[in-house]
Amino acid sequence: MEAYLIGALFCVSALLVFLWARHYLFRRVADFRGSYLSRAGSISGVATVVNAIVSSREILPVHALIVTLLALGSVLFFFASIRAHSGRVPAVALGGGNPEVLTTNGPYAIVRHPVYFAYMLNWFASALLCANLVAVVVLLVMCLLYWYVATDEERQILKTGLAADYEVYQRRVPMLIPLWGFSLNNRIK
């Protein structure tokens, strides 16, 4: 039971970090896309915490270690993504604005939407921890929402002065899953 609690603590801590960041690091959610994604994330976070409490079970220490490392990795990847902006707030991620510069360093060198990847990594850790249908459904719904929003954001970027550079970037870097040579609708037009 202690191993489960350790894994749950790290997953919940990561969710709290992401909620904090939504309120303090990102611009106010002004558009519908960001608004429903933000609400879905909050609702899914609460569902995940309740699910983790309800489905509390015995797990092997190695299972807890894997979950803990995934949750911790998601937070570290998230902050590395924010840091890659050199003090600027990501213009598109939940903000609805257009970027002034194209960020391609740090985590952006291996995935075009590293903030969403960090969130997905924590949802995956939570699904591994709870190992039930509710956790898998939350994971799938949130991943589909991140894909949809990332696709929409890319269409928005391709209407700006950064379009030519972004098309090159799209050909070079996968959309949502690093080190995977393709992803759903990898190149948005």
| Structural domains in the chain (count) | 1
Q: Which structure tokens are listed for 121? A: 């990594």
Closest CA to 50 of 141, 138, 142: 138
Q: What is the pLDDT of residues 5-26, one digit of tens each?
A: 777 777 777 777 777 776 666 6
Domain membership flag for residue 182: no
Q: What is the pLDDT of residues 33-46, one digit of tens each?
A: 556 666 777 777 77
Segment 144-167 mean pLDDT: 91
The alpha carbon of residue 118 and the mean position of all alpha carbons in its chain are separated, in whole angstroms, by: 4
Q: What is the pLDDT of residues 52-100, one digit of tens each?
A: 777 777 777 888 888 888 988 998 998 899 889 877 766 665 556 678 8
CATH number, position 51: 1.20.120
Domain membership flag for residue 48: yes
Contacts of 158 (CB under 8 A, 6+ apart): 166, 167, 188, 189
Instruction: Please give the residue range of the domain that contains residue 33.
Output: 2-172
Domain membership flag for residue 180: no
Domain membership flag for residue 42: yes
- Provide the pLDDT for residue 29: 46
The model's pTM is 0.82
